[in-house]
Amino acid sequence: MRSLKYILSGCLLVLGATSCKKWLDVNTDPNNPNNETVLVQNRLPWIQKFYCYTAGVTNFRTAAQSGLYYSNSTVGNALSTTWKFHTGNTTPYQTWFVEVASNLNDLYNTAQKKGAFHYMATANVFHALGFMQMLDVYGEMPYTQALTDLASPAYDDGKTIYYGCMAKLNDAIDLFGKTQDATAPALASGDMWNGGDVNKWIKLCWGLKARYMLKLSKKSDLYNADSILYCLSKGPQSIADNVVQQGFNNSTVTDYLLGDPVVTNGNFDYAAYGSNQRISKYHYDLLTNMRGSGVTDPRMSKIVPATMSGIQLDASNKVASFTWRRSEGVDVLGTATRLVKGGATSIVIPAYATANTNIKYTIANATDRANFIADQVGAGRTHTVNGNDVTVTYKAGSIFINNPNYLYSGDTIYVNLRSSSLATSGIAAQGEKDVSWYPSAAAFAAGAVASTGSFQVRPVSDQEILTYHEMCFIKAEVYMRKGDVGNAWTAYRDGIQAHLDMMQAKLTSWQAAGFAATNPDMAPMNSGDMSAYLTSGAVATAGNLTMSDIMLQKYIAMGCSIEIWNDMRRFNFSAGNVGSFGVVYPGYDRGPLFTGDANYTGSGKTDPRYWQRRWALPTTLEQNYNLTNVLAMNPNATEPNIWSMPVWWDCATDGEYYGYLSK
């Protein structure tokens, strides 16, 4: 895979409020760059950034699988709605090897020559982060030979990859504990994540070990609750220990591989760059009716986007008045009435009316026509009826669906997650402090916002690598498995509080920076609402806490993260057959538009192969160019139902796992 190597010297990166010149001096001789002259302090920030890029696409696509998002894109919809896949997900694999993994040996070896032990340690951390992610999604892949000169490396099984990654974390902890040589570059000179704070890096390593050890919860011979608790005791202890990659909106530089913005949050690049993604009803209901309480979570208005509605323009065609309308969730898993009628990918992007616009709808069904007319009356829209034809006038300033199919006319209730960046808005006048989405330059000029975006997936959002709230929820789960409900409840409450505090800190910083001036969803939450939520029926008491309570709060807090899908696999989604915990994710199931019979061949919920368990290997990479090694490891790798085959840690025993790897 050495042919995938890309030297970072040709790129430009603008990374924040400082001049960031240190990030740009990639080579000692910029006119004659070569791999040997790249400084370790200049290689590390690129590795950090591009890891977030590959993690971003993985986070988004697994979040779609987990029911957080609906997507009407080809790949996203297959994961969120139809579950029908024919090919693999190439992008995470490609970006991992091209942009990150290909630089890890060079970072390690160059740092070793300089006695820069802390940079050596970071190479090990990224090795673990990336290859564990590859194991999570693809199962088997090149590992021991992956970063060698071999063009067609052999494959390793999931167990080998897992223990290899854990060994790298142990080595990293040892290396971070060493004192660097006096002439070695300080970690602070190249570290965008932790500013050179070695203690935070060490806590990151221990936290990752806890995360990865939790994956073994199905394996009675390997799962060790006390070992996980020990790792947690050495991991993050407060939100001050959170490890994130900060996103920016101060550059138009794009990635050389896929052309996406470089400085923005990696989750944004996939979940909110375009207009395809929306909040699911499953996600929405947890934010508005957790535990059947009817309580609206104070985080809801920061996670679920809003659009302007009922816009009135003044004489200069500027927005004079309006109301904010919060998005409804797309019902992918339930009855999905709108999608069943219109098609799995049919939700339409809104437009902006620069002048009064008439649209004629032909509606043959009398009931549908009557309901449609009632909707227009309720919305106060001018309309006329002529037989089966209903003509509606959308006033200037309206955000509406410019399509004559009446089924689509109400799609403005599904506000997309889209945010804007300098590199993507297409509106030259839109400044860096305004990341709302406008459907056109005319809408921007009027001040008509079509989406306020979502907390985790704005260009300026932090991309969460490891957080204190995740550690709390892991602790809660581990104690619950031990039967210690008291300590489980304390950790559960701590996790909710930690996530509220983390969000509030970021929202406060956005307000101080000026983002909330145009986007109220970027302003802080009401502190009274936060306190009231913690004592409401949405939050379990110590006497009625269930594993589902823990995992559903973790679901909200982790959001756009692969760890949600990892958790759901560990609990077999809504099968209810793990331990005595019952159904942990109630309501999650195949939806009415499911067409993935060839991919998911299980006969029922308790059959592992009923669910989305992994991704197929990239067809254009491994299956076309390394097929012999692919099939030598897993002769079923090219079968359609590979999507439902559990990965190593998702199996209770090695016998079960290796049984899947036999023809």
Is CATH 1.25.40.390 what the domain over 2-278+461-660 is classified as, yes or no?
yes
Give which of 298, 279, 272, 360 is closest to 503, Cα–Cα: 298
At residue 88, the pLDDT reads 80
Cα dihedral across residues 273, 275, 277, 278: positive or negative = positive
On whether the CB atoms of residues 503 and 485 are closer than 8 A, the answer is no
Give which of 239, 219, 222 is closest to 470, Cα–Cα: 239
| Dist CA 573 CA 418 (whole Å) | 28
Domain residue extents for the chain: 2-278+461-660, 298-453
User: In the structure encoding, which two tokens stand for residue 155, read together?
Assistant: 């494959």
Give CA 338 to chain center in angstroms. 25
At residue 38, the pLDDT reads 87
- How confident is the chain (663 residues) per 10-residue block, as mean pLDDT? 38 35 42 72 95 96 98 95 90 92 96 98 98 97 95 96 98 98 97 98 98 98 98 98 97 85 93 96 98 98 98 98 98 96 97 98 97 95 97 98 97 98 94 97 98 98 98 98 98 98 98 96 98 98 97 98 98 98 98 97 97 93 87 96 98 98 89
At residue 19, the pLDDT reads 31
Cα dihedral across residues 139, 143, 145, 148: positive or negative = positive
| Dist CA 98 CA 6 (whole Å) | 6
On whether the CB atoms of residues 92 and 138 are closer than 8 A, the answer is no
User: In the structure encoding, which two tokens stand for residue 454, read together?
Assistant: 């979502």
User: In the structure encoding, which two tokens stand for residue 57, read together?
Assistant: 């696409």
At residue 30, the pLDDT reads 54
User: Could you read off the pLDDT of 56-89 as tens digits, one per residue?
Assistant: 999 999 999 999 999 999 999 999 999 999 888 8
At residue 21, the pLDDT reads 35
Q: What DSSP line would sit under 560-600, residue for residue? A: SSHHHHHHHHHTTTTT--STT---SSTT-S--TT---TTT-
| Dist CA 474 CA 582 (whole Å) | 18
At residue 33, the pLDDT reads 54
| Dist CA 164 CA 166 (whole Å) | 5
- Contacts of residues 11-14 at CB distance under 8 Å and 24 or more positions apart, as own/partner, are 11/46, 11/253, 11/256, 11/262, 12/253, 12/262, 13/45, 13/46, 13/49, 13/251, 13/253, 13/262, 13/263, 14/248, 14/250, 14/251, 14/253, 14/262, 14/263
On whether the CB atoms of residues 633 and 155 are closer than 8 A, the answer is yes
At residue 201, the pLDDT reads 98
User: Could you read off the pLDDT of 616-660 as tens digits, one per residue?
Assistant: 999 877 888 899 999 999 999 999 999 999 999 999 999 999 999
| Dist CA 485 CA 301 (whole Å) | 31
- Strand ranges in 280-374 using DSSP code E only, listed in sequence order: 306-313, 319-326, 351-352, 357-362
Give which of 50, 55, 54, 48 is closest to 190, Cα–Cα: 48
- Strand ranges in 197-284 using DSSP code E only, listed in sequence order: 243-245, 277-279
On whether the CB atoms of residues 241 and 200 are closer than 8 A, the answer is yes
User: In the structure encoding, which two tokens stand for residue 653, read together?
Assistant: 């025993």
φ, ψ for residue 336, nearest 5 deg:
50, 45
